[in-house]
């Protein structure tokens, strides 16, 4: 049983759908012979951190 404020249902479902879509994209990249790095913003993320800029590693 999951109990939550009904007002939070839609935003949570939207977030879950976004995660599912990102996972599917990454799975497709890997299935096509790509690497985990190919499915993320790793290079841009590392470069930003090296410049001292804030950054978040994310799926592309």
pLDDT, tens only, 12-54: 999 999 999 999 999 999 999 999 999 999 999 999 999 999 9
Q: Are 22 and 59 in contact (CB under 8 A)?
A: yes
Residue in the structure block whose two tokens are 């790793």: 42
Spell out the domain ranges in the chain.
34-60
pLDDT score for 60? 84
Report pTM. 0.70
């Amino acid at each position: 049983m999951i109990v939550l404020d009904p007002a939070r249902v839609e935003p949570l479902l939207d977030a879950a759908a976004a995660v599912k879509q990102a996972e599917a994209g990454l799975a497709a990249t890997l299935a096509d012979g790509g690497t985990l790095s190919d499915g993320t913003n790793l290079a841009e993320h590392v470069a930003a951190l090296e410049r001292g800029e804030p950054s978040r590693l994310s799926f592309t």
